[in-house]
Amino acid sequence: MADAGPPVKRPLWTQLYLQVIVAIVLGAVIGHFWPSTGEALKPLGDAFIKLVKMIIAPVIFLTVVTGIAGMRDLAKVGGVALKAFGYFIVVSSFALVVGLMVANVVQPGAGMHIDPASLDADAVKSYAAKSHDMTVTGFLMDVIPTSVAGAFVDGNILQVLFFSIPFGIALTMIGERADPALKVLNAVAEAFFKLVAIFMRAAPIGAFGAFAFTVGKYGIASIASLAALVATFYGTSILFVVVVLGAIAALSGFSIFKLIRYLKEELLLVLGTSSSEAALPSLLEKLERAGAAKSVVGLVAPIGYSFNLDGTNIYMTLAALFIAQALGIHLSLEEQLLLLGVAMLSSKGAAGVTGAGFITLAATLQVVPSVPVAGMALILGVDRFMSECRALTNFVGNAVATLVVAGWEGQLDRTRLAAALNGEAGPIAAAPVEADAD
């Protein structure tokens, strides 16, 4: 396919990122001055997220299957998966350690002297109940859908992947006889990505409703009493993105700041809706446009949504130690290491859905008996504000991971990547990249 040249500049007011910014600001104003109206606008945000989640399962299925089948080499599929999981384990573990270190150095909860008996255990009872199902066995059993249709009906990313990966492998094993099916799937995938583009035009409405609800219900002033925790978490996440992910990106040959600029529309959408899932379909398309092969994008990005949650990991260790400090509970090094290990396991499968990090924290604290789960009531009021930062950090982390693994596999077109990050990207390549363009 011939390159269509640089994209035509559209008027600024038609740019989606500017529309989302305006929507977020208007939502904050409505929520602050007319709280009841802000709360009433919640269905707008919920409707948009449902709209996007409706097509996530088929988009992942089509991307994964066509990507794997297009490889024609099962050894390559295994290589990509192995390298991706190796990256996820190392980087997400480091995120947990960073949260733990910052909490010990800054000690945002020290001096609060909260009496554990004064905690409202009922406030977090529903989260604790959900966390009981997040055992290792329960998690593994939940990965297997009760039926193929059930995986798509429930919209469970891991269940869709559990079916999609073997199906793509099966098409690869069939060989040339699978070409007609692959042609149909590629055409359907193209239609779904066009549908994504149509739905994304409603992003400002969704962001407006979601942000108006957040500010209207919780109030900007509600974070004042826990400003130290919120500020520490945001500061730590920014530091992690700029320093850690920035270093990884630099070693891989691209700038983290240019990547953030390239994904600004998706990041603003994540900020407005507090859910990284809302931007997943668009992320898949943009990573392909930036030169990453479909086969790598289809495997790494969706799997990363469950196994590479840098923001959630920072939050879990930081929040756990904040609660302990606020209650005057001293955690020994052994207890902190136990917390680290449990968090590493419980964070897996917490897809980028609003509130998942809070439920995962409950599951983690239940294995560390010295810190009561009821202590989560201390941060319940500000968790929504931290949820946005978790989702943003997770999103950037998965974008970096996909490009890095694509580079390792020689499946990243450096010319297209440079063009995309410099704002000169053309259409998505017609065929997967077979060699690194260095």
CA dihedral for 168, 174, 176, 179, sign (positive or negative): negative
Scanning the structure block, which residue is given the tokens 């409202």? Answer: 120
Domains of the chain: 17-421 (1.10.3860.10)
- Residue 151 to residue 161: CA distance in whole angstroms: 9
Scanning the structure block, which residue is given the tokens 């024609």? Answer: 72
In whole angstroms, how far apart are CA 434 and each of 185, 292, 399, 406, 426? 21, 10, 20, 10, 19
Scanning the structure block, which residue is given the tokens 């924290």? Answer: 361
Angle at CA 110, nearest 5°, toward 108 and 116? 110
- In one letter, which amino acid is 427? P
Per-residue pLDDT of the chain in tens (438 residues, 90 and over written 9): 344 444 456 666 667 667 877 888 888 889 888 988 888 988 888 888 777 778 777 877 887 787 777 766 677 777 888 898 899 989 988 998 999 999 899 888 776 666 666 555 555 555 444 544 555 566 567 778 888 887 787 766 678 878 888 888 888 888 788 888 888 888 888 888 788 778 878 878 888 888 788 778 767 665 555 677 888 899 999 999 999 999 999 999 999 999 999 999 888 888 877 777 778 888 888 999 999 988 788 888 888 887 788 888 898 888 888 888 888 888 888 888 888 877 776 665 454 444 556 666 776 776 666 777 777 777 766 676 787 888 899 999 999 999 999 999 888 999 999 999 998 755 554 444 444 433
- Residue 390 to residue 233: CA distance in whole angstroms: 9
pTM of the complete model beyond 0.85 = no
SS3 category, 412: strand
Look at residue 35 in the predicted model and tell me its pLDDT. Answer: 87
Residues 301-320 as b/e (b if ≥16 CB within 10 A, e otherwise) read: bbbbbbbbbbbbbbbbbbbb
Look at residue 9 in the predicted model and tell me its pLDDT. Answer: 60
- Residue 226 to residue 109: CA distance in whole angstroms: 9
For residue 292, the cross-strand partners are: 412
**What token pair was written down for 343?**
């968090």
Look at residue 373 in the predicted model and tell me its pLDDT. Answer: 72
- In one letter, which amino acid is 259? L
| 379 within 8 A of 321, measured Cβ to Cβ | no
Biggest CA pair distance of the chain? 69
Residue 413: name the closest of 305, 289, 238 by CA: 289
Look at residue 238 in the predicted model and tell me its pLDDT. Answer: 94
Residue 162: name the closest of 86, 232, 239, 64 by CA: 64
SS3 category, 292: strand
Residue 406: name the closest of 216, 252, 239 by CA: 252
Chain centroid to Cα 162, Å, comes to 19
- Residue 433 to residue 75: CA distance in whole angstroms: 17
**What token pair was written down for 108?**
């945002």
